């Protein structure tokens, strides 16, 4: 069994300190942090007031503090945005130098300093300065992205900030939304979609022969538009698909046949 270690250079870390960080963050993001324990990671997001994805994040308990694992290109903007909401809360929001790493593969097992990925156990472990186990081979972030895609789990390359609803990106199925917690930014729209079953589109992997179609390429069910291609690589891509048009349909992209798959972790 192969275990791979990789630096996730597209990710960066923010540290929250101070006695009010839990109550401060609790009212902003989709995930519950009041019960977050030291050494535990949870998946969540900061939404727009309209309920669309602004930023994905992993929230990690780090002693008396919290770490936010976010997109590296967005870190400064996230710090600025969180600072706007700080008001009188006793919380400090600063960049942290910790490097984000991943340990993944069929043989990945718990090791000191490694936290189980809260989305899917099959995705392995995330680390923040954790050393590579001796048995792991050193890979690249592209290896991790290929592994993630093979499991049918969407990633940041698949969602369009300010346009994608978190449920479309399967955050509700990947433990990214706590519907039992109190209010958070964008909660009304998110809860209404879940409660009323207004989930018409979801991100699903599609299979095909050869190189991936271009992002944005149209997925057709016969002559009807069924969605669009997102990120991809040889033989597989993620697509945002209309659920009412894909079951039993002959799907194609740019004249090539494709096949939509529902991952085993996704309930029918």
DSSP string, 175-199: T---TTS---TTHHHHHHHHHHT--
How far, in whole angstroms, is CA 58 from its chain's centroid?
8
Q: Examine residue 26 and state whether it is found in any structural domain, yes or no.
A: yes
Q: Examine residue 150 and state whether it is found in any structural domain, yes or no.
A: no
Do 134 and 9 share a structural domain?
Answer: yes
Total domains present in the chain? 2
Mean pLDDT, range 71-96, rounded to an integer: 96
Q: How confident is the model at residue 220 (pLDDT cuts 50, 70, 90)?
A: very high
CATH of the domain at 127: 3.30.1360.120
- pLDDT above 80: residue 250: yes
User: 15 and 65 in contact (C-beta within 8 Å)?
Assistant: yes
Q: Where are the alpha helices (DSSP H) in 126-256?
A: 141-150, 187-196
pTM: 0.94
Q: Examine residue 265 and state whether it is found in any structural domain, yes or no.
A: no
Do 210 and 163 share a structural domain?
Answer: yes
Do 122 and 202 share a structural domain?
Answer: no
Query: How many degrees, rounded to 5, is the angle at CA 117 between CA 97 and CA 55?
Result: 60
Do 77 and 49 share a structural domain?
Answer: yes
Question: Which DSSP helix (H) or strand (E) runs through 85?
Answer: helix 75-86
Do 84 and 39 share a structural domain?
Answer: yes
- Structural domain boundaries, residue 131: 4-140
- pLDDT above 70: residue 56: yes
Q: Examine residue 266 and state whether it is found in any structural domain, yes or no.
A: no
Give every CB contact of residue 230 below 8 A, 6+ residues apart in sequence.
154, 157, 158, 159, 203, 215, 237, 238, 239, 240
User: 105 and 2 in contact (C-beta within 8 Å)?
Assistant: yes
Do 122 and 34 share a structural domain?
Answer: yes
pLDDT, position 268? 59
Query: Measured between alpha carbons, how far is 67 from 142 in angstroms, rounded to an integer?
Result: 24
Q: Examine residue 148 and state whether it is found in any structural domain, yes or no.
A: no
Do 210 and 123 share a structural domain?
Answer: no
What rounded mean pLDDT belongs to the chain? 94
CATH of the domain at 232: 2.40.30.160
């Amino acid at each position: 069994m192969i275990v791979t270690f990789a630096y996730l250079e597209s990710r960066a870390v923010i540290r929250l300190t101070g006695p009010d960080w839990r109550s401060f963050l609790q009212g902003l993001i989709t995930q519950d942090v009041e019960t977050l324990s030291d050494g535990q990671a949870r998946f969540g997001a900061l939404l727009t007031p309209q309920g669309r994805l602004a930023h994905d994040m992993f929230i990690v308990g780090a002693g008396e503090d919290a770490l936010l694992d976010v997109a590296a290109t967005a870190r400064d903007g996230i710090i600025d945005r969180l600072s706007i909401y700080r008001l009188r809360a006793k919380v400090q929001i600063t960049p942290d130098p910790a490097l984000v790493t991943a340990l993944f593969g069929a043989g990945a097992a718990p090791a000191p300093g490694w936290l189980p990925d809260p989305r899917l156990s099959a995705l392995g472990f995330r680390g923040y300065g954790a050393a590579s186990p001796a048995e792991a081979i050193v890979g690249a972030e592209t290896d991790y992205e290929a592994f993630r895609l093979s499991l049918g789990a969407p990633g940041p390359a698949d969602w369009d900030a300010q346009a994608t609803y978190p449920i479309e990106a399967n955050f509700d199925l990947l433990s990214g939304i706590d519907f039992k917690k109190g209010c958070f930014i964008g909660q009304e729209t998110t809860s209404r979609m879940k409660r009323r079953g207004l989930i018409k589109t979801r991100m699903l992997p599609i299979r095909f022969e050869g190189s991936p179609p271009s992002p944005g390429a149209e997925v057709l069910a016969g002559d009807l538009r069924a969605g669009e291609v997102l990120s991809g690589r040889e033989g597989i891509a993620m697509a945002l698909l209309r659920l009412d048009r894909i079951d039993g349909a002959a799907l194609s992209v740019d004249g090539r046949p494709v096949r939509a798959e529902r991952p085993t972790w996704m309930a029918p």
